Amino acid sequence: MTAVPPSCQILDGKALAQKMQGELKQEIAQLVAQGHRSPGLAVLMVGDNPASAVYVRNKEKACEKLGMVSFGKHFPVDTDQETLTAAIASLNEDERVDGILVQLPLPDHLDAVKLLHTIDPGKDVDGLHPVNLGHLVRGEDGLRSCTPAGVMALLAEYDLELTGKNAVVLGRSILVGKPLALMLLEKNCTVTIAHSRTQNLADITRQADILVAAIGKPEFVTADMVKPGAIVVDVGINRLELGEGKSKLVGDVDFAGVAPMASYLTPVPGGIGPMTVTLLLANTVASYRQRLGL
Ligand SMILES: Nc1nc2c(c(=O)[nH]1)N[C@@H](CN(C=O)c1ccc(C(=O)N[C@@H](CCC(=O)O)C(=O)O)cc1)CN2
């Protein structure tokens, strides 16, 4: 990682993820010792997107490390909508399965939104079903999207004051931007969602006490877009091909340029990525407890 000036503190998602996963492992071991079955998670992947394959493998490994059972299914790229709908219906009925997740993105011929609607909301550990998004809008308990929930857990770990702060979320996806804006609002931030059509973007981002970048553009946020002392959260994960078979992982924030401006900053890798996986595991345990009445 690039050297960070003393005025900037790293928000260490990797460390918090390890701590939370250790706690989840203990919790599961206790439940199993009391005679309960292990929690189960089913990750559905379609096609051979290499990045998705790595993420799915990491989720399955994490699952097993914590003592959960993995019911993952890998479908060929030409799988049709009906086959996937039937697979989800069967997992909805399977008592051993507490969480169902469809790895995104899906191949273009598939309708991801329609598929997500068929997941039992009680097993929707990605928090993307309209019922769970509806609970979030209303400020009610429910399964919450993993990446935004991971951002909020990391901010909470460092005791960062959110009330009354100007938060700017760059990105309006259903996976990150929109649910994160609602979670920041719930913590009494004044929230702006900015996106690819926003005018005078740097004028808006420079107002942010908390700036979250989730737009999928490598190193898009530069120092001139950041208010001095801002908390900067980088949700982007972009692989840059460097030639000769080499590549580098970067976020949506120019880390080296922004670090001297920010008071807190998340790295890539080691920031929000590990938190996403951890919140998926935490959601699966929450769903398991709810389903077993524990
Ligand atoms: N159904 C979903 N699909 C996708 C989601 C999601 O939350 N739900 N998010 C992303 C991918 N993703 C999880 O699925 C994910 C991406 C990256 C990481 C991560 O830990 N990254 C590491 C670096 C890994 C590397 O070296 O490549 C890090 O940031 O430290 C976790 C989860 C899209 N799809």
How many CA atoms, within 13 angstroms, populate the side-chain half-sphere of residue 33? 6
Distance 32 CA to ligand 1 centre (A): 29
Residues touching ligand 1 (Cβ under 6 Å) are 54-55, 101-104, 126, 146-147, 175, 237, 249, 268-270, 273-274, 276-277
pLDDT tens digits for 208-255?
Answer: 999 999 999 999 999 999 999 999 999 999 999 999 989 999 999 999
Distance 52 CA to ligand 1 centre (A): 8
CB 125 within 8 A of CB 201: no
Looking at the chain, the domain(s) classified CATH 3.40.50.10860 span: 37-120
Indicate which residues carry an active-site annotation: 59, 103, 126
Mean pLDDT taken over the chain: 97
Q: Is the pLDDT of residue 2 over 80?
A: no
Q: Is 188 left (phi over 0), alpha (psi -120 to 50) or beta?
A: left
CA distances from 248 to 64, 245, 275 (A): 28, 10, 20
Give the CATH H-level superfamily of domain 145-273: NAD(P)-binding Rossmann-like Domain (3.40.50.720)
pLDDT of residue 121: 98
Task: Confirm or deny that 52 is annotated as ligand binding.
Answer: no
Calpha distance 29→15 (Å, rounded): 21
Q: For residue 13, give the ligand 1 atom closest to its CA.
A: 30
Domain 37-120 has CATH 3.40.50.10860: yes
Give the pair of three-digit tokens for residue 5.
Answer: 């000036």
pLDDT of residue 17: 98
Mutation probe of ligand 1 site: the residue of 1, 12, 55, 234 with most atoms within 8 A of C-beta: 55
Give the pair of three-digit tokens for residue 168.
Answer: 């700017």
Distance 273 CA to ligand 1 centre (A): 5
Q: Is 244 left (phi over 0), alpha (psi -120 to 50) or beta?
A: left
- 29 falls in which pLDDT band (50, 70, 90)? very high
Calpha distance 132→279 (Å, rounded): 15
Q: What is the pTM of this model?
A: 0.96
CA distances from 178 to 68, 128, 142, 155, 246 (A): 30, 11, 16, 18, 34
Give the list of residues 6+ apart from residue 240 with CB closer than 8 angstroms, or none: 218, 247, 248, 249, 250
Mutation probe of ligand 1 site: the residue of 11, 237, 275 with most atoms within 8 A of C-beta: 237
Calpha distance 143→122 (Å, rounded): 8
In this structure, the residue with its CA closest to atom 11 of ligand 1 is: 55
Looking at the chain, the domain(s) classified CATH 3.40.50.720 span: 145-273
Task: Confirm or deny that 172 is annotated as ligand binding.
Answer: yes
